[in-house]
Amino acid sequence: MIKIKALNKIYNVGQKNEFVALRNINFEVLPNTVVVLKGVSGSGKSTLLSIIGGMNKPTSGEVIVEDKYIAKLPDLHLSNFRASSIGFVFQSFHLINDLSVFDNISIPLIPLGLSAKEIEEKVNYAMQICNIAHKSMEISKNLSGGEKQRVAIARALVNNPNIILLDEPTANLDSANSKNLVEILSNLKKLGKTIVISTHDSLFDELDFVEKIIYIKDGDISG
C-alpha cells in the first residue's frame, strides 16, 4: 500500500542554515493495517506524514502509494490522486468556521460534479461512521474540540479513500474524546482502511489494532 525507500528531506540545501529533516527513511505499510509514527515534537514525523500524503515532496528517495510514485507526479495528477486515495486529518482540523458540519464535510466532493443526492448520501454515511450526524446543521465554530475532530475525520472519509493519515490526532483532545477517537479508528480499520498516525501520545503504544510503531528521532528511524 505504502513504500518509502531511501527518503531524505533537506531544507535550504547547500546553504549555511541547511537542515536535514529526514534521513534515509525506509519502511512499508501493508494494506488494512494501522501504523504509528512516534516521536517528540520536531522529530520529523509530521514532515514524513505530509510527504506520504503528497503535500510535501522529498529531496530524494521514493514514495510509492498504491503503486504510484507520487513524488514524481505532476501537481495536477498528484492533486487528483490525493483527492481520491488519501484522507488527511490535520492537527488543527482546518474547518471553515462559518459553514455547517454538513457543508464542511461536503467540500472534497464539490469538484466531482456529483448530484445533490449523491453528495447527501456520501456525507451522511461519513457522519454516521464518525458519530457526528446529530450535529449536521451546526455551525462548525460552535463545536467542541472532539466534535471538530470527528467532522475532520468525516471530511477525510467522504471520498472513501483507502488511506487515512492523521497528524497528532489527540493533541487537542481530553482523555474522553481521545477514547472516542480510538473507537473511530478501530472501526475504520474494520472497514478496510489503511491508517498512518503521527503522534507523541503514549495512548497509541498498546492499542491492539496497531500493527507497527515506527520510532523517529532527529529525522532517523530509531529502535
CB distance 24 to 8 below 8 Å = yes
Domain range list for the chain: 2-222
Cell numbers representing residue 6 in the block: 531511501
Greatest Cα pair distance, the chain, in angstroms, is 56
| Residue 106: closest CA among 147, 160, 141, 158 | 158
pTM: 0.93
Residue (of 136, 149, 135) closest to 177 by Cα position: 149
At 48-62, the pLDDT tens digits run 999 999 999 999 999
Neighbours of 115 (CB within 10 A): 8
Q: CATH number of the domain at 2-222, out of 3.40.50.300, 3.30.300.30, 3.30.450.20, 3.40.50.10800?
A: 3.40.50.300
Which of the four pLDDT bands, split at 50, 70 and 90, describes residue 14?
confident
Residue of 47, 45, 52 lying closest to 28 (CA atoms)? 52
pLDDT band at 188, cuts 50/70/90? very high
